[in-house]
Structure 1
């Protein structure tokens, strides 16, 4: 088995590439939003200046989901015992605690770093490798932290809303954080050999999609707008550590019920 962290690229190089990609896109979006709209055209939503393109990608993602991912997730949900399903979800959630720990340190959040380290230790040692979430019983609830939140903590703007092929809703800052978390920061995934890691990643995607099926009943109105607003509200909630002031996205309780799934 490979040692932890042996496949990590240098963090500084990846971070530099992330910033090089994010900052120009934020600038271009800001200029596009400030430019006067042509006479007779539909005003550009400042949250979503690329809405026309995003809707096409959203439609593509829904087609892939409808014909492939959702049927697999429904079968998984139907035939997997609830206890096994819960254990799989707990296992993958436990793997994210190293990410939570690293980004808590980067954000100078000492208490959150201690909680993330404690959760990973308790769940790994006493929770059968993370299959049982014993840390929550020890009053150590999860505190999600990713590098997108770290960039926001240090003043990097979110940028415009983006719908990415296969990956779903995002922003330049969120996607930059995703890339950094995946390729630069320490991860428990480094201990998994190929090709097992690909099977494990596939199972994680299916498990996550299966967990989202009940939340679909809360979607109302235009599904694209609902998903966009729920995602942006959830990211604002995380960036501000649960404190969202003058939230422009909240329009009803349905969105609040779906936030935890993003």
Structure 2
């Protein structure tokens, strides 16, 4: 029930802004109309909801992030003692380990599942509920597997790209995966407000982590496309555990071969 409640509030937030963006005359809507009028049609099969996603991205980046997320992250990282920040973040991530164990097993990653089990047991006991990370002393990886990656392993595509206000870039597969991950113990038994605190800590740390990259977004020709492409590249990187296969564009290769033959 708690997982359903959390998801309900998340999607209620999304649907509310979807309604507002569609029913009111806003700067974001004007921006989409201007973009459509002054650029060629972009047929991106990954993003069939672009006309909706763009104003939601503008609202998220230009308003929610600028006036809420970034200032909150700056205050949190500036005034919270480093050892406390690290400990709270470790505790928040430690609660995801049981889900990671199951997701590794579903992908037949037995070694990774064993490491996740060891991390959870050791950090939850000696590490004081995950505040400390003694498992890292044994070089047990802290990389966690999500159910969305399980779906990807079995051939399920990302699905339509989504921009959820306050949550940033996502996709249908990732949202389904997050919902399933929330059904695992102990996330399923955490009350609503403690879970909000957990997600807030993770969100503040993730916002702080992209501080060095945000200038790339600002200076990009199209921040929306830049973030979208970066999102799918990251999902692909995670799906293949950091070793994505090289995709060869046969048409491009043929053009290069033809060009080289002209110089022979």
Whether the 8 Å contact between 1:112 and 1:143 is mirrored in structure 2 is no
Q: CA deviation at 1:87?
A: 1.4
Q: Rg: which structure is higher?
A: 2
**Match in the other structure for 2:44:** 45
Alpha-carbon distance between aligned partners in 2 of 1:49 and 1:140, rounded to the nearest angstrom:
40
**Match in the other structure for 2:233:** 233
Whether the 8 Å contact between 1:76 and 1:210 is mirrored in structure 2 is no
**Match in the other structure for 1:202:** 200
- RMSD, matched Cα: 2.5
Instruction: Flag structure 1 segments of 5+ consecutive residues without an equivalent.
Output: 1-5, 10-39, 249-262
Q: CA deviation at 1:120?
A: 0.7
Whether the 8 Å contact between 1:152 and 1:239 is mirrored in structure 2 is yes
Whether the 8 Å contact between 2:87 and 2:132 is mirrored in structure 1 is yes
Q: How many residues align?
A: 211
Q: CA deviation at 1:45?
A: 2.3
Whether the 8 Å contact between 1:88 and 1:207 is mirrored in structure 2 is no
Question: Given the two structures, how large is their TM-score scaled by the length of structure 2?
Answer: 0.71
Residues 53 and 8 from structure 1, CA distance in 2 versus in 1: closer, same or farther, beyond 3 angstroms?
A: closer
**Match in the other structure for 1:123:** 123
Alpha-carbon distance between aligned partners in 2 of 1:102 and 1:130, rounded to the nearest angstrom:
19
Residues 99-110 of structure 1: pairs in structure 2 closer than 5 A: 99-110=99-110
Residues 214 and 129 from structure 1, CA distance in 2 versus in 1: closer, same or farther, beyond 3 angstroms?
A: farther
Q: CA deviation at 1:190?
A: 4.2
**Match in the other structure for 1:212:** 210
Alpha-carbon distance between aligned partners in 2 of 1:194 and 1:47, rounded to the nearest angstrom:
33
Whether the 8 Å contact between 1:99 and 1:187 is mirrored in structure 2 is yes
Residues 8 and 192 from structure 1, CA distance in 2 versus in 1: closer, same or farther, beyond 3 angstroms?
A: closer
Q: CA deviation at 1:138?
A: 0.4
Residues 95-244 of structure 1: pairs in structure 2 closer than 5 A: 95-182=95-182, 184=183, 186-193=184-191, 195-219=193-217, 220-221=219-220, 222-244=222-244
**Match in the other structure for 1:254:** none
Question: Given the two structures, how large is their TM-score scaled by the length of structure 1?
Answer: 0.71
Higher helix share: 2
The superposition leaves residues 178-199 of structure 1 with CA deviations (integer Å, 9 ceiling, x where unpaired) of 11112x3x23234544544434
Residues 125 and 215 from structure 1, CA distance in 2 versus in 1: closer, same or farther, beyond 3 angstroms?
A: farther
Whether the 8 Å contact between 1:104 and 1:112 is mirrored in structure 2 is yes
Residues 213 and 188 from structure 1, CA distance in 2 versus in 1: closer, same or farther, beyond 3 angstroms?
A: farther
3-state secondary structure, aligned to 1:46: coil
Q: CA deviation at 1:226?
A: 2.2
Higher relative contact order (CA 8 A, sep 6+): 1
Whether the 8 Å contact between 2:92 and 2:201 is mirrored in structure 1 is no
